[in-house]
Structure 1
Amino acid sequence: MFVNFLLFICGGQCNVMMMIFEERIWVLFKHKWQQTLTYWSVFFSFGLCIAFLGPTILDLRCQTQSTLQQITWVFFSQQFLLLIGSCLGGLLKRTLLFSLTALSLSTLLISLVFAFIPLCNNVVMLAVAMAIAGTAMGVIDTIANLRLVKLYQKDSAVFLQVLHFFIGMGALVSPLVADPFLADDNCVKNGTENSSSNLHHLRSSLAGKGTVLHNVSHYNLHTQGTVTTNISYAFWIMALINLPVPVAVCVLMYRERMLPCFSYSPRLLEPDPRASKTPTESIPADTDQDHRDMFNCCNRSNLQGHPPSFFILHGLGGAVLFITDGIIGSYAGFVYTYAVSSPLSMHHKTAGCLPSVFWASITAGRLAAIYLSYRYTAVKLLSVSLGGVVIVECMLLMLHSSTVFLFLGTCLLGLCISTVFPCMLALTEDILDYKGCATTVLVTSASTGEMVLQVLVGSVINSQGSYSFPLSGMIAAFIGFSFFLLFLYCRHVYRNYHTEEHKSTREAVTQGSS
């Protein structure tokens, strides 16, 4: 099965990690290994969808016989519906049954979309297919994060780092699968002079995550003629690679007695009341008593039960991720455009390596954070990471004419920013005592920032020139760090409120007993 394959892949790393981690973490993992590996595998599907569109967009343009301006709106349809899917995931998280059903359907939809894309003969059909994939990605993003936080609670930081590492794994696999099938020249032949000399340059400019129209508006390729592309095979291979993931989710549902034929059998995750207590009783039970519906968080009774700092923490946590995920999306999307423009004027093949270096450093940073998140608190990791982002962005601005530092800064930026999302998610849920609303808010805010900041940065570059790219990054980094400082202050206020509330409760109990 797919989960056993993942166990084999992770076995060597797990043995090393468990020699470092204390036995309690290993006991937690052994108790919930199948669920954990299943959630990790669905994020592999998420990663597959993130990275394939950039390298294949020119071949898809040929397949749909559309202009570059038309085909790049497919990026927007995916990103916008990813945001909608993140909100939808907050509604489907109410019970474990709903969550696993949504994950199985979403991962299956991704395979179906991969298989359907070769049949899309116009850009509207392709946009609809990518919108469906984006919705599935949003559902996966919210639910997988939520279930892992819910599963491990105060110990979730380590497992969240691994979860986000699997995004990088998927994002590395899909371009490798697609590369042998990409056209080497203009794949729409009309008997006239083609633009194959610019094809590699143009393909690299579209290799970032969610690149928008500003990168390609000045290119004009043929739309009429004979289509010659083999990209269909790449999508069918990716559909097969992803197919074991929904199977793994269904296997988990089978083991948890959630399939219709086991609807009257006791679920494995429900503790047997007749069972004696074991040393692992401290393992968080996978119940849904504390996780409410997304809109139930806004009920009047719930609003009255919390201080203002409770809701401000949600907003500030979301604001930090709005900025940092926006930086990731805009940097990956426009670093190539910045590199080939004056004053750097790098060769397009050299500049084309920058998005890959950035994503590889993010993946490496999340791998290293698996150990760091156990050794250090989330506050320390976030302080170092966000402070590092500010320093790197300032250096990129000051050394804007240095080709060497652009590569070094790209690598350092990816390492620094890689741990922000999982650490911020774990910290916010821990502060708010795992009420279940924070994950939906944070994931939705991150998706919104990724979409909005790309549009803003692209517009600024288009109107003000390439120099505005590092300047925009530096301003965003300072804003994100400021939001984080406000978050820490609000966290202090929220803790003081609970301390005073507990003191007053103890005094009332003491007076009542006397």
Structure 2
Amino acid sequence: MSISNVGSGSLWTHFKQPERWSRDGIYRLSGCCFMSFFGLGLVIGLLGPALPPLAEALSLKQAESLGFLFTVRGVGYFLGSLLFGFIGKKLSYRSLIAGGCLILALTQVLIAVSTSTMQLGLFCFLVGFFSGFVDTGGNAAVGSLLAEDPLADTFMQALHFSFGLGAFSAPLLTALLLKFSGSIALAFFLVGLLCLCIGLSFLGLTTSEICNKPTTKELTLISEEERWMDASVENNTTVQATPSTPPPQSNRKLLLVLVAFAAFFYVGCEIGFGGWIATYSLNSHSVSTKASAALMASVFWASFTIGRLVSIPLSLYLSCRSILFLDLSQAIVSTIFGILGFNLWFCSSLVGFALSSSFPSSVTLIQSKTSVDQVSTSCLMVGASLGEILIPFLLGESMKELGLEWYFPLCLVTVCLWGLGFILVLIQPSHYHDNCTS
């Protein structure tokens, strides 16, 4: 799930990197961000297949009773991402991401030894909160450090591919450990150990390689250089274009509301389907063991990861609109296959592949409609976070109250509403502003 750039709106990210930052140092920090996203994928992908054994350990009759864990994790993620947008202006990305990884390591151990649903809820909230730090910080760090680099797009795609790889590995790891040890706690311990090592890797960067903010002297030099360039432009320009009348602010606000609407249902479908597919497959008797149910979730995240890898060269030949139409069509068809009773392994892989490239393509679509500033990014984040909070919870409650047969129909409704939001965004006129204050 990938999806947050709240911290990238910080003032310093608009300045050039100081010359003392070596190219190797920037690439090393980017490599650490890749590892942090791999760990983040492990943490996010572990909860879904862990629900049945966690429910059994707490003597709960239904794993659906733990559906609120997705909600509290989503609330924590939302708050953590917003907080990063404020403190990211004062602290280095390196220290914030490192701190987030270290606390995520602690939360995995605490979840493994939890003895009540209240404890699980508290620790999942902390998981979401500090996942917001890692997610937002990784996007902001890679995006700002490589802003002028020709490999910037490649690095950003690789960053999100790392998340998908971790999300795929988590259910696979769960299945293997359940098969050989029968304990879900061991999976949380191993993921926690890996997050600990990743957090320490950030602290291991030397001072000359750290992503520090520009000093006051450097900011002054940059400001003087910009004023000199502005003065040169004014002196050398003979013809000044008449500024066009900006489109009404209300139209841009409508566009951003529709962006949040589409993100709400897209991210909700991604997290909801990936989080509940293991429980659904086990309770619907599509698989017979908890290890097989975890493998079902792993198939979803594997196809999700493969889809993100395929989308990198595919984006060179197809527009973002074409990719989104293909994704939406495939998602609708795959959920209909699930309703009709097609093989669940096939349907799970098809849904994962369909949802994989939609988020980066949506960001590109937004760029074609309006300026991507802190306002538009925040709207995207708000919609995505609320979708992660509500949709998985509603899916779990619906399966508990209405029955398992409503799982795929509700997923289909979610996909259709995402498609409606995408179409409404697509037909909106472009709204570009030099100074967006809405």
Can you list the C-alpha shifts for 1:295-349, whole angstroms capped at 9, x where unaligned?
Answer: xxxxxxxxx997333333322222222111111222224445555677xx53434
Corresponding letter in the other structure for 2:306: A
CA drift at 1:122? 4.4
Flag the 1:371–1:57 CA change in 2: closer, same or farther, 3 A: same
Unaligned runs of 5+ in 1: 1-28, 186-228, 275-303, 502-514
Distance in 1, matches of 2:37 and 2:70, equals: 20
2:321 to 374, 379, 384: 379
Residue aligned with 2:427, SS = helix
Asked whether the 8 Å contact 1:157–1:426 carries over to 2, the reply is: no
Greater mean deviation of Cα atoms: 433-442 or 246-255: 246-255
CA drift at 1:144? 2.6
CA drift at 1:47? 0.8
Distance in 2, matches of 1:61 and 1:472, equals: 24
Matches within 5 A, 1:330-479: 330-336=272-278, 338-339=280-281, 346-349=286-289, 353-397=295-339, 400-403=340-343, 406-429=344-367, 431-479=369-417
CA drift at 1:150? 4.4
Greater mean deviation of Cα atoms: 233-242 or 106-115: 233-242
CA drift at 1:424? 1.5
Asked whether the 8 Å contact 2:77–2:132 carries over to 1, the reply is: yes
Asked whether the 8 Å contact 2:256–2:379 carries over to 1, the reply is: yes
Which residue in the other structure is 1:494 paired with?
431
CA drift at 1:131? 1.7
CA drift at 1:482? 1.8
Which residue in the other structure is 1:245 paired with?
198
Pair 1:87 & 2:24 matched = no
CA drift at 1:253? 7.8
CA drift at 1:98? 4.5
Can you list the C-alpha shifts for 1:348-402, whole angstroms capped at 9, x where unaligned?
Answer: 34666432221110011011112223443323322322233233334444xx133
Distance in 2, matches of 1:109 and 1:411, equals: 32
Distance in 2, matches of 1:71 and 1:396, equals: 24
Distance in 1, matches of 2:78 and 2:364, equals: 21
Distance in 2, matches of 1:410 and 1:233, equals: 26
Distance in 1, matches of 2:405 and 2:73, equals: 29
TM-score computed with the length of structure 1 as normaliser: 0.63
Which residue in the other structure is 2:127 paired with?
133
Asked whether the 8 Å contact 1:38–1:252 carries over to 2, the reply is: no
1:308 to 239, 250, 261: 250
Asked whether the 8 Å contact 2:307–2:356 carries over to 1, the reply is: yes
Distance in 2, matches of 1:255 and 1:432, equals: 37
Paired positions, count: 387
Which residue in the other structure is 2:157 paired with?
161
1:326 to 265, 268, 275: 268
Which residue in the other structure is 2:18 paired with?
none
Distance in 2, matches of 1:380 and 1:94, equals: 37
Flag the 1:52–1:334 CA change in 2: closer, same or farther, 3 A: closer
Corresponding letter in the other structure for 2:82: C
Distance in 1, matches of 2:247 and 2:142, equals: 26
Can you list the C-alpha shifts for 1:77-128, whole angstroms capped at 9, x where unaligned?
Answer: 3233123223323334446x44433222211211222344455454434432
2:107 to 104, 110, 113: 113
Percent identity between matched residues is 22
Distance in 2, matches of 1:326 and 1:464, equals: 19
Q: Greater CA radius of gyration, 1 or 2?
A: 1
Asked whether the 8 Å contact 2:76–2:126 carries over to 1, the reply is: yes
Matches within 5 A, 1:201-350: 232-251=185-204, 254-256=207-209, 307-336=249-278, 338-339=280-281, 346-349=286-289
Distance in 2, matches of 1:127 and 1:460, equals: 20
Which residue in the other structure is 2:16 paired with?
none
